[in-house]
Amino acid sequence: MKSYYQITPAIITVTVALVQTQAVMALSASEVNNIAKQITVLIQSKKPKYGSGVIIKKDGNTYTVLTAAHVVEVKDNYEIVTADGKTYALNYSSVKQLPGIDLAVVQFSSNQKYNVAKIGNSDSSSEGTTAYVAGFPAPTFAINQSIYTFSNGTITANASKPLLDGYALVYSNNTSEGMSGGAVLNEKGELIGVHGRADLDTKQIKTGFNLGIPINTFLRLSARTGVDTGVSAPNTPVAKAPQAGDFYIQAGEKYDKGDYQGALADYTQAISLNPKYTNAYYNRGIARYNLGDKQGAIADYNLALKINPNFAEAYINRGIARYNLGDKQGAIADYNLALKINPNFAEAYINRGNARSSLGDKQGAITDSNLALKINPNLAAAYHNRGNARLDLGDKQGAIADFNTALKINPNLAEAYVGRGAVRYYLGDKQGAIADFNLALKINPNLAAAYVGRGIVFYDDGVLTKDALTDFNTALKINPNLVEAYLHRGIVRHNLRDKQGALADYNFALKINPNLAEAYYRRGLVRYSFNDNLGDKQGALADYNTALKIDPNLAAEVYTNRGAARYGLGDKQGAIADFTSALKFKSNPNYLLVYQQLAELRSEVGDLQGAIADYKSIIKINPDAEDAYKSLGFLYYDQGNIERAIKNWETAISLNQRFAEPLMALAVVLHTKGETKQAITKAKQALTIDKQYADLAFLKKRKWSDRLITDTKKLLATPEMKSFLGQTQ
**Domain endpoint, select from 228, 243, 274:** 228
pLDDT at 592 over 90: no
User: 69 lies in a domain?
Assistant: yes
Residue 593's pLDDT band, with cuts at 50, 70 and 90, is confident
What is the number of H-type helices and E-type strands within the chain? 31, 15
pLDDT at 683 over 90: yes
**DSSP states of 117-140:** PPB--GGG--TTSEEEEEE-PPP-
pLDDT of res. 275: 93
Q: Among 454, 464, 452, which Cα is nearest to 424's?
A: 454
Residue 2's pLDDT band, with cuts at 50, 70 and 90, is very low
List, for residues 454-492, the tens digit of each pLDDT value: 999 999 877 788 999 999 999 999 999 999 999 999 999
Return the percentage of the chain with pLDDT > 70, whole number. 91
User: 36 lies in a domain?
Assistant: yes
User: 584 lies in a domain?
Assistant: no
pLDDT at 445 over 80: yes
Name the 3-class secondary structure at 484: helix
User: Between residues 156 and 405, which one has the greater pLDDT?
Assistant: 405
pLDDT at 638 over 50: yes
pLDDT of res. 318: 96
User: 341 lies in a domain?
Assistant: no
- The CA distance from 693 to 168, in Å, is 92
What CATH code is carried by the domain that includes residue 210? 2.40.10.120
pLDDT at 144 over 70: no
Over residues 86-111, the mean pLDDT reads 90
pTM value?
0.69
User: 80 lies in a domain?
Assistant: yes
Over residues 142-156, the mean pLDDT reads 78
**CA angle, 624 then 628 then 630, to 5°:** 105
Residue 232's pLDDT band, with cuts at 50, 70 and 90, is low
- The CA distance from 256 to 283, in Å, is 12
pLDDT of res. 205: 29
User: For 71, which DSSP code?
Assistant: G
Write out the residue range of the structural domain in which residue 689 sits.
Answer: 658-729
**Domain endpoint, select from 213, 228, 243:** 228
**Domain endpoint, select from 198, 228, 258:** 228
- The CA distance from 104 to 569, in Å, is 83
pLDDT at 719 over 90: yes
Query: Strands 87-89 and 96-97: what pairing?
Result: unpaired
pLDDT of res. 729: 64
Q: Which of 130-139, 222-231, 645-654 has the lowest mean pLDDT?
A: 222-231
pLDDT at 15 over 60: no
User: 328 lies in a domain?
Assistant: no
Helix ranges (DSSP H) in 496-607: 499-512, 517-529, 537-550, 555-568, 572-582, 591-604
List, for residues 171-228, the tens digit of each pLDDT value: 888 888 888 889 999 888 889 899 988 755 333 323 357 888 888 888 888 777 777 7
pLDDT at 295 over 90: yes
Residue 8's pLDDT band, with cuts at 50, 70 and 90, is very low
**CA angle, 711 then 714 then 717, to 5°:** 155
CA dihedral 546, 548, 552, 553 (to 10 degrees): 110
Categorise residue 299: left if φ over 0, alpha if ψ from -120 to 50, beta otherwise: alpha
pLDDT of res. 208: 58
Mean pLDDT for all residues in the chain = 87
User: 208 lies in a domain?
Assistant: yes
**CA angle, 646 then 650 then 654, to 5°:** 175
Categorise residue 106: left if φ over 0, alpha if ψ from -120 to 50, beta otherwise: beta
Measured over the CA atoms of residue 309, residue 314, residue 315 and residue 319, the dihedral's sign is negative
pLDDT at 607 over 60: yes
Q: Which of 144-148, 150-154, 246-250 has the lowest mean pLDDT?
A: 144-148
Can you name the residues that pair with 54 across neighbouring β-strands? 40, 66
Residue 18's pLDDT band, with cuts at 50, 70 and 90, is very low
Task: Give the count of domains, the chain.
Answer: 2
List, for residues 311-367, the tens digit of each pLDDT value: 999 999 999 999 999 899 999 999 999 999 999 999 999 999 999 999 989 999 999
- The CA distance from 546 to 553, in Å, is 13
